[in-house]
Amino acid sequence: MRITCVIASTTLALTIAAPITAQDRFETLPGYDRYKLVTDSMNKLVTGGRISRINWNEELPLLEFVRDDVKYQIDIETLVLSEREVETDDGDDGSSTPRRRTRGPGRGRQRTTETSPDKNYIARCVDWNVIIDRADEDDPQRITVTTDGTRKRRFGKASWVYGEELSQNSAMWWSPDSTKLAFYELDETDVKDFYLATKLTEWRTELETEGYPKAGEPNPIAKLWIYDVPSGETTAVQIGDDPEQYVYQVRFSPDGSLLLFNRTNRHQNVLELVAADVETGESRVVVTETQRTWQRNRPYIKFLNDGQRFIWQTEKTGWLQYELRDLNGSLICSLTRGDYPAAEILNVDEESGVVYYMAYSDDHPLNAQLHRVGLDGKGQTRLTREPMNHRVWLSPDRNYFVTTYETAEIPPTSALYSIEGEWLATLGESNASQLDEFGLTAPELFTCKAADGVTDLYGLLYKPSNFDPRQTYPLIIDVYGGPQSQRVRSRFRAANAYCEFGFLIAVIDNRGTGGRGKAFEEAVYLNLGIVDMADQVAGVRFLTQRSYVDAERVGIFGHSYGGYMAALAILKHPDVFDVAVASAPVTDWRNYDTIYTERYMRTPAENPDGYDQGSCLTFADQLTGKLLLMHGMVDDNVHPSNSWQLIDKLQHAGKSFSMMFFPTYAHRIRGPANAIRWEFLYDHLVGNRTSPSSAGESAPAEAD
């Protein structure tokens, strides 16, 4: 069925053509059979190099693992490798029972119940108040902790912006001995509400109301309280006097004597780890981190067994590193160092006084390597040697490790090593001959210069099977590009099945993305949509210098921040991009929440030019290519009003465009969206680009 949607404005009406809605058309596109073949075979292509379900049996000693759905074991002493029968997790009825994931609170929400460590109490947030139920059927008790909570002044619950941007999915916390309950008080009195119509496909709609502080607007004000169960007394925690600060990542110290929390100023360039006495509420600063731009809000922290010393993540040198600190506020020593970022901590062996961690210390900055260092900061040693990206599993006794190593262009190999880095046995090797069988070319990890002409950018280029460099192909940029994200990694992926429709597909990590150090990340500060967008353009211009890349057929697509980048690309750079599919885009940063937006842009009053130059609305009158906007109508994160504002600007500028709104979807758009995206890209980059009957083509309609 073809559906025509008329979008009216005071000056112009546009008919949004229906050919785009034919979902079954995706399976009729030329190249679909090859796409399906590659998609169905992806898990079988270049197999053998990756292993899973690694289990160390120290008593025997054996290492067990699964490769290509076959279970193996290797005797670590004799290095004899043998097959084993794969065990299934059987239910009572003898059938295989899949493991179920425990679902947490919804996006931007907090749990409404917290069970004490001794299982005797359940704290609940009910009607914006905190109550405690005794979990005993023979002696049920209910303790009322607060009574005057409201939606605008809530207890035991945080707010949407705290949940979304500070990962605060809890708002009540039990002490280790189950005698004390800490909880939030969040005052949203001055936070403006956002109203979202829901149940759009039913006979009666409903209205969802949420306090949503947009850039530059008043924020929720947080307080912390501690309730003592035995005495029934409540103590206020001294969190500081700055009403603009954010208070989050609340937890008790290992011995329960302190309540720890992070706090940061509104600009988020000064972070403090604060410790409060649980009896008096008096607080003191344990660590302060300061950055010129923004500070990482949730640095990694891991306590040692004494509950006093802890490993702390810092970027004070411009690279992510780790230190050993004390709760008394002192720095004991720097653990990791180097002109490259450390990655995750794998293991802390306190008995031997050694920390094992990953770091991007290879000649290529995308390759992670295994390191160790003493808890005194001495003896830093790289243990892996291949100039490739490593994923590592340590044996429990720290005498051995397994690593899977690979690059974006070289398929993975898995091997067993001694802890000193001596190769012992190969556990799995990839069979790259399958690429030839499918006519596939391994993806290319390329390097190009950023828009500044100096900084190296990395990208991945995927090609269709039976790629012929004598032909020309349209180029599609698969974009996200948001601050501190990272999509270009040194991990092998055999193919991108969507290339089978006749595309080259590239992913480029612009300045601002993560994993490359603070200077690389902060290049976008105050300039979202300016520096990052310029780098995507630089990447396209680099690729279109190749004879097989058609510079007249360049498309781009993305979702959320990627949707913003896609929309901005075709509006701001019509000379570079011909087609764009923008899904759930932030079309103007004044629309988005305080914590995320101000971290990178400060407020609109402080940075008006940055907000204007990074806004899709500013460049709406420059549209010359083909634009498809997609948005979920009940998106409580990037509100549909973002797209409506751009639509209004485009209509008043007399621009033709396409749109597809989804009445039952929130920020994640599922269902037919994927097929619609690729139909649109195919029609305007591979198919007939001028025929008015092409899917998604829209034309001006007569005004009423």
Res 92 pLDDT > 50: no
pLDDT tens by residue, 210-232: 999 999 999 999 999 999 999 99
Distance from C-alpha of 582 to C-alpha of 585, rounded to nearest angstrom? 6
Q: Quick check: is 635 catalytic? A: yes
Give one DSSP letter per residue of 530-576, joined into a string: THHHHHHHHHHHHHTTSTTEEEEEEEEEEETHHHHHHHHHHHH-TTT
At 691, the pLDDT band (50, 70, 90 cuts) reads very low
Which is more confident, 21 or 428? 428
pLDDT tens by residue, 502-550: 999 999 999 999 999 999 999 999 999 999 999 999 999 999 999 999 9
**What pLDDT, on a 0 to 100 scale, did the predictor assign at position 508?**
98
pLDDT tens by residue, 111-153: 899 999 999 999 999 999 999 999 877 777 899 999 999 999 9
**What pLDDT, on a 0 to 100 scale, did the predictor assign at position 636?**
95
Set 509, 532, 593, 635: catalytic member: 635
Res 17 pLDDT > 50: no
**What pLDDT, on a 0 to 100 scale, did the predictor assign at position 700?**
33
Which is more confident, 431 or 231? 231
Helices 531-543, 561-572: axis angle to 10 degrees equals 70
Mean pLDDT, residues 190-204: 96
Q: With b meaning 16 or more CB within 10 Å and e meaning fewer, what string describes 377-390?
A: beebeebbebebbb
* Site of tokens 């210098």: 545
Mean pLDDT, residues 167-172: 96
Name all domains of the chain by residue range, CATH numbers in brackets: 52-84 (no CATH), 107-297 (2.140.10.30), 443-694 (3.40.50.1820)
Q: 286, 303 in Cβ contact below 8 A?
A: no
**For the chain, give me the number of helices (H) and strands (E)?**
10, 42
Mean pLDDT, residues 472-476: 98
At 86, the pLDDT band (50, 70, 90 cuts) reads low
**What pLDDT, on a 0 to 100 scale, did the predictor assign at position 688?**
62
Res 2 pLDDT > 90: no
At 87, the pLDDT band (50, 70, 90 cuts) reads low
467-to-443, 471, 472, 679 alpha-carbon distances in Å:
12, 8, 10, 21
At 101, the pLDDT band (50, 70, 90 cuts) reads low
Res 94 pLDDT > 50: no
**What pLDDT, on a 0 to 100 scale, did the predictor assign at position 525?**
98
At 48, the pLDDT band (50, 70, 90 cuts) reads confident
Set 371, 390, 667, 684: catalytic member: 667
Q: Quick check: is 178 catalytic? A: no
Look up residue 598 and give its two tokens: 């101000």
Give one DSSP letter per residue of 316-342, joined into a string: TTSS-EEEEEETTS-EEEE---SSS-E
pLDDT tens by residue, 61-73: 899 999 988 999 9
At 107, the pLDDT band (50, 70, 90 cuts) reads confident
Q: Of 207, 220, 213, 222, which is closest to residue 192 (Cα–Cα)?
A: 213
Res 702 pLDDT > 80: no
Res 446 pLDDT > 50: yes
Distance from C-alpha of 651 to C-alpha of 659, rounded to nearest angstrom? 12
pLDDT tens by residue, 386-418: 999 999 999 999 999 999 999 999 999 999 999
Res 693 pLDDT > 80: no
Q: 145, 132 in Cβ contact below 8 A?
A: yes
Set 116, 560, 656, 698: catalytic member: 560
Mean pLDDT of the chain: 91
At 432, the pLDDT band (50, 70, 90 cuts) reads confident
**What pLDDT, on a 0 to 100 scale, did the predictor assign at position 106?**
80
Distance from C-alpha of 271 to C-alpha of 261, rounded to nearest angstrom? 11
Q: Quick check: is 573 catalytic? A: no
Res 16 pLDDT > 60: no
**What pLDDT, on a 0 to 100 scale, did the predictor assign at position 44?**
79
Q: 17, 697 in Cβ contact below 8 A?
A: yes
At 102, the pLDDT band (50, 70, 90 cuts) reads low
Q: 247, 239 in Cβ contact below 8 A?
A: yes
DSSP secondary structure code for residue 430 in this structure: -
Q: Of 529, 644, 641, 638, which is closest to residue 593 (Cα–Cα)?
A: 638
Q: Please report the sign of the dihedral spanned by the C-alpha atoms of residue 45, residue 48, residue 49, residue 54.
A: positive
Give one DSSP letter per residue of 651-691, joined into a string: HHTT---EEEEETT--SS--TTHHHHHHHHHHHHHTS-SS-
> Which H or E run contains 264?
strand 258-264
The sheet with strand 13-16 has its strands ordered as 5-8, 13-16, 699-701
